[in-house]
Amino acid sequence: MVSIVGSIITVIAIAINAVVALQLGKHTLFFHKKQIEHNMNSIRPICDIRLTDYEDKISVSLFNAGVGPLEIKEFSCEGPYGSSPILANLIPEMKQPWHNVHGNPSGMTLAVGEAITLIEINPQDDCTREKIRNTLKDIAVYVRYADICNTGFEKHKKLAFFGRPQRERVNCISGI
C-alpha cells in the first residue's frame, strides 16, 4: 500500500513538474519575443523633415531623430511642375546664390542626431523670401529609408508650412 501511495505521489509530482516546465517555456518564449522587439526598436531611425522659415533664413533638412542609423534608400520631391531627387531643381533660378544646396541624398546614411540640409538660403530682400516661400509651399518631400536590419520605413511631408499667412504680404512683380 505504501508503494502505491508513493507511486501516486511520484506521478502527481512529475505531472506538476511537467506543467510548471511548460509554463516556464511559454513565458521564456514570450519574453524572448519581447526582447527581440525591444532590440529592433533600440536601433530604429526616425526621419524628421525639418523646415526653417525665418526672416533671414529659409531651409529644408532631413534629420535622424531616432536611436539608430538611417539609410536613405530613395528620395524625391514633387511639385506642381514635376518631380526631382534634388529639391533645388524645383525652385526657379534666383538673382542671389544659395547658401547651401545638397544633391540627391539617396544612398547616404545619417548617424543619430545628424542632419542633411537639402536647401538653405539667406534671402537678401522681401521679394526673394516671398517667392521662395510661394514655390516651396506647393512641394512635397518623400523619403524611403531603412535601419541597419534593412527594415523599410517611409516619410513624406508637404511643405505647405511655407504658405502660412504672414503678418504682412509683400507684393513682388519682378523676377527673383
58 and 27, same domain (yes or no): no
Lowest mean pLDDT of 101-110, 136-145, 161-170, name the range. Answer: 161-170
Claim to verify: residue 37 and residue 51 sit in the same structural domain = no
- Give the domain extent around 112: 47-163
Residues 25-34 as b/e (b if ≥16 CB within 10 A, e otherwise) read eeeeeeeeee
Residues 7 and 56 placed together within one structural domain of the fold: no
pLDDT tens sequence across 65-87: 999 999 999 999 999 889 999 99
Express each pLDDT in 28-49 by its tens digit.
Answer: 888 888 887 777 667 899 999 9
Number of domains in the chain: 2
Contact present, 55 and 42 (Cβ < 8 Å): no
pTM: 0.75
Domain containing residue 102: CATH number: 2.60.40
In a domain, 131, yes or no: yes
Are 37 and 117 in a shared domain?
A: no
* pLDDT of 25: 87
